[in-house]
């Protein structure tokens, strides 16, 4: 290790290659596809300020990335995928892509990943992200390139561009920019989901990969400021502060990064709450009818990305979209970090390709320690998956769609068979109701009512008496009505999430509701 | 594009909303539009439901509620073109300035 240090150039501004506007002669990289003319022709990014470079796209030139030259890590687009980082499949911490390359210090990061592959503005990165099909890892799975394009376009509207003219017209018809100021990039590691630890785990393990993503994004959209917004008191907060100082000392960054701490509340990580917190206000969602990409922090176009998204972005910038697509499914390429929690042998974070079977996912954390009653996908505001769905259900939007679920922020919770799913749901909805930001009438009034109904559903007739005399079946139908009533009626999606988990409990635990109504509980651990 | 009272944007709301950057207003609602509700501002006075009874009713607490069944999945209410005038009146009448008409 120490011997190798001497051969490794210390990270310094000069270590970064000049951003190369025109790709050098293509290096031979057998599996990498040649330029995709379709992507170039039907470029969705016409709104970016600088025109596309003329020549069709080539794989990243090998010379730019020392990682290709001096180490075990792969050539672009690799051969059979076996030697690519992260293709070892669902293993522990060390086998993923992001986590395999994790290095907490800048020197180690530089050795593993090479310098920052600056691409300059003008859409190189956006096109690569578009081809890679990277989506946001914070839960909404929005295409990352679209967010970058929207911010770029908001900050630098192109004269004659139809979309910006239409929007600018709506803004007074003067054709002036819709928004003020240079864009802002925010790396979001607030991680409000109580069960999720993947963001702070990633940030603590690979802070420089995330910060590289921040820098590359900042460059691509021409951002003036960047923030890392990290859960207060987490180990990641200390690590990322140290990492930012290290980079500043080394002159590694072009855009100044500021670290801010997020309060530990469920909603602190909601994008508009992040903006509010960075402005010094309370971290709660804001009603905004224009997207944050148009007007966010102090009215500036603002990109709020999950830290995992940014880490993937930093890898795509280095190794290209073909490499990224080597794992995962065609529609959902790449890997995702998943927090596996509940009745498993070794709760924790695992990185898996999209489409990995839930059984393998749970198995990678040691497997379930007792008979499984149900799985919950997507955290407190997720979906209950009946155990009858089987361990073969893939962890992907496509695979979970028949169950009405999505991978969400990457959480799989295992509920043991002896636990009562209704009691567990009551706990979740009560928590969510208490975490509402106290701003919107239907949410403030509806969520506590919903929580009471779900709690009444969780009571066992005859054993506990509901204060309002409802039996669990009546409570269930009231919960159904209330869930429909709160959905979509708030400044943020918090009520939708509470409605979603309550609704899925009604479906998944229908037999339990019947049993409760008849005076017994199917889960023997029911707290009575 | 603008000028007639029918097509006037909901400009009065803009500055009084305290959001000078939102000078975009709803834009002239010529075609179908969306009604956006600022749920943090609305205090359930119910004027909008009275002015737009075709589309809005009130929930038990008095907050505006989309009439169309199963419509709560999205936050914005779709306004057909023939109701745009009524919708604009509701926007202007809301005492909390909580409504905004956006182009679809
Ligand atoms: S919908 Fe609920 S949680 Fe979201 S801002 Fe409104 S009151 Fe707060
Ligand atoms: S008129 Fe305004 S304040 Fe009154 S219920 Fe409608 S939106 Fe809410």
For A248-298, how does the pLDDT look when each residue is reduced to its tens digit (9 = 90+)? 998 888 889 999 998 999 999 899 999 999 998 888 998 888 888 888 888
Does residue A26 register a pLDDT over 90?
no
pLDDT band at B75 (very low <50, low <70, confident <90, very high): low
Chain B positions touching A179 (Cβ under 8 A) are 21
Tokens 């944050």 -> residue: A292
Residue A378 Cα, gap to closest chain B Cα (Å): 18
Is the CB of A492 within 6 Å of ligand 1? yes
Whose Cα sits closest to atom 8 in ligand 2? B42
User: Which ligand ends up closest to the CA of A489?
Assistant: 1
Spatial contact of A216 and A115, defined as CB atoms under 8 Å apart: no
Alpha-carbon A300 to chain mean position: 22
Across the beta sheet with A383-386, the strand order is A348-353, A335-342, A411-416, A372-377, A383-386
Residue A107 CA to residue A100 CA, distance in Å, equals: 16
Q: Which of A174, A276, A287, A490 to mutate to test the interface with B (most CBs of B within 10 A)?
A: A287
From B17, B40, B42, mutation site for ligand 2 pocket: most ligand atoms within 8 A of C-beta: B42
Q: Is B65 on the interface with A (CB under 8 A)?
A: yes
Chain A positions touching B42 (Cβ under 8 A) are 440-441
Domains of chain A: 86-324 (3.40.50.11540), 335-518 (3.10.20.600)
Which residues, at least 6 apart from A239, have a Cβ–Cβ distance to it below 8 Å? A104, A203, A204, A207
pLDDT band at A30 (very low <50, low <70, confident <90, very high): very low
Q: State the distance from the centre of ligand 1 to the C-alpha of A440, rounded, in angstroms.
A: 5
Give the right CATH number for B42-103 from 3.40.50.620, 3.30.9.10, 3.30.70.20, 3.40.50.2300.
3.30.70.20
For A133-168, how does the pLDDT look when each residue is reduced to its tens digit (9 = 90+)? 899 998 888 998 888 888 888 877 765 444 544 444
Beta-sheet pairing, A383-386 with A302-306: unpaired
pLDDT band at B70 (very low <50, low <70, confident <90, very high): low
For A89-116, how does the pLDDT look when each residue is reduced to its tens digit (9 = 90+)? 333 333 578 888 888 888 888 888 888 8
Q: State the distance from the centre of ligand 2 to the C-alpha of A478, rounded, in angstroms.
A: 26
Q: Is A282 on the interface with B (CB under 8 A)?
A: no
For ligand 2, which residues put their CB under 6 angstroms from it? B 37, 42-48, 64, 94-96, 98-99
For A60-70, how does the pLDDT look when each residue is reduced to its tens digit (9 = 90+)? 222 222 222 23
Beta-sheet pairing, A335-342 with A348-353: antiparallel
Does residue B10 register a pLDDT over 90?
no
Which residues, at least 6 apart from A146, have a Cβ–Cβ distance to it below 8 Å? none
Tokens 């998943």 -> residue: A338
Provide the residue ranges of all domains of chain B, joining segments of one domain with +. 42-103
Q: Which atom of ligand 1 is nearest to the CA of B39?
A: 6
For A322-333, how does the pLDDT look when each residue is reduced to its tens digit (9 = 90+)? 888 888 888 899
Interface of A with B in 477-496 (CB under 8 A): 484-491, 496
Strand partners, A374: A386, A415
């Amino acid at each position: 290790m120490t011997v190798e240090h001497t051969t490794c150039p210390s990270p310094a501004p000069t270590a970064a290659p000049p951003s190369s506007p025109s790709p050098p002669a293509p290096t031979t990289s057998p599996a990498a596809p040649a330029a995709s003319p379709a992507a170039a022709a039907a470029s969705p990014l016409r709104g970016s300020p600088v025109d596309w470079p003329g020549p069709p796209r080539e794989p990243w030139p090998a010379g730019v990335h020392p990682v290709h030259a001096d180490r075990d890590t792969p050539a672009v687009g690799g051969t059979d995928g076996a030697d690519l980082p992260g293709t070892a499949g669902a293993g522990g911490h060390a086998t993923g892509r992001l986590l395999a390359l994790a290095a907490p210090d800048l020197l180690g990061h530089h050795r593993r990943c090479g310098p920052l592959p600056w691409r300059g503005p003008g859409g190189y990165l956006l096109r690569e992200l578009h081809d890679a099909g990277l989506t946001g890892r914070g839960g909404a799975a929005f295409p990352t390139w679209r967010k970058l394009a929207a911010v770029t376009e908001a900050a630098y509207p192109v004269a004659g561009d139809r979309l910006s003219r239409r929007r600018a017209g709506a803004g007074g018809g003067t054709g002036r920019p819709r928004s003020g100021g240079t864009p802002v990039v925010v790396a979001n590691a607030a991680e409000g989901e109580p069960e999720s630890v993947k963001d702070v785990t990633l940030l603590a393990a690979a802070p420089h990969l995330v910060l590289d993503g921040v820098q590359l994004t900042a460059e691509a959209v021409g951002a003036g400021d960047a923030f890392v917004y990290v859960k207060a008191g987490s180990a990641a907060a200390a690590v990322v502060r140290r990492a930012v100082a290290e980079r500043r000392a080394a002159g590694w960054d072009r855009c100044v990064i500021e670290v801010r701490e997020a309060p530990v509340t469920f909603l602190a990580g909601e994008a508009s709450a992040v903006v509010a917190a960075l402005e010094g206000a309370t971290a709660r969602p804001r009603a905004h009818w224009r997207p944050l990409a148009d007007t966010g922090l102090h009215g500036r176009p603002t990109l709020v990305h999950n830290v995992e998204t940014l880490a993937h972005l930093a890898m795509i910038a280095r190794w290209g979209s073909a490499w990224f697509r080597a794992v995962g499914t065609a529609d959902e390429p790449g890997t995702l970090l998943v927090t596996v929690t509940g009745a498993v042998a070794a709760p924790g974070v695992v990185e898996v390709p999209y489409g990995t079977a839930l059984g393998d996912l749970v198995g990678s954390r040691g497997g379930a320690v007792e008979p499984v009653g149900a799985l919950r996908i997507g955290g407190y505001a997720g979906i209950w998956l009946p155990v009858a769905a089987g361990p073969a259900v893939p962890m992907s939007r496509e695979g979970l769609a028949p169950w009405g679920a999505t991978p969400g922020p990457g959480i799989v919770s295992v509920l043991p068979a002896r636990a009562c799913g209704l009691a567990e749901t009551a706990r979740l909805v009560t928590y969510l109701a208490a975490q509402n930001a106290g701003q919107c009438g239907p949410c403030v009034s509806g969520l506590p009512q919903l929580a009471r109904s779900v709690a009444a559903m969780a009571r066992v007739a005859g054993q506990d008496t509901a204060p309002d005399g409802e039996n669990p079946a009546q409570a269930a139908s009231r919960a159904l009505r209330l869930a429909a009533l709160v959905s979509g009626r708030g400044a943020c999606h918090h009520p939708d999430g509470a409605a979603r988990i309550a609704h899925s409990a009604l479906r998944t635990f229908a037999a339990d509701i019947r049993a409760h109504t008849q005076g017994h509980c199917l889960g023997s651990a029911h707290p009575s | 594009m603008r000028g007639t009272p029918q097509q006037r944007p909901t400009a009065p709301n803009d500055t009084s909303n305290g959001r000078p950057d939102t000078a975009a207003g709803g834009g002239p609602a010529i075609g179908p539009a969306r009604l956006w509700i600022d749920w943090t501002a609305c205090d359930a006075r119910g004027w909008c439901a009275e002015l737009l009874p075709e589309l809005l009713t009130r929930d038990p607490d008095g907050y505006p509620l989309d009439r169309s069944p199963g419509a709560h999945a999205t936050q914005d209410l779709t306004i057909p073109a023939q109701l745009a005038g009524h919708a604009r009146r509701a926007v202007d009448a809301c005492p909390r300035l909580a409504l905004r008409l956006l182009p679809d």
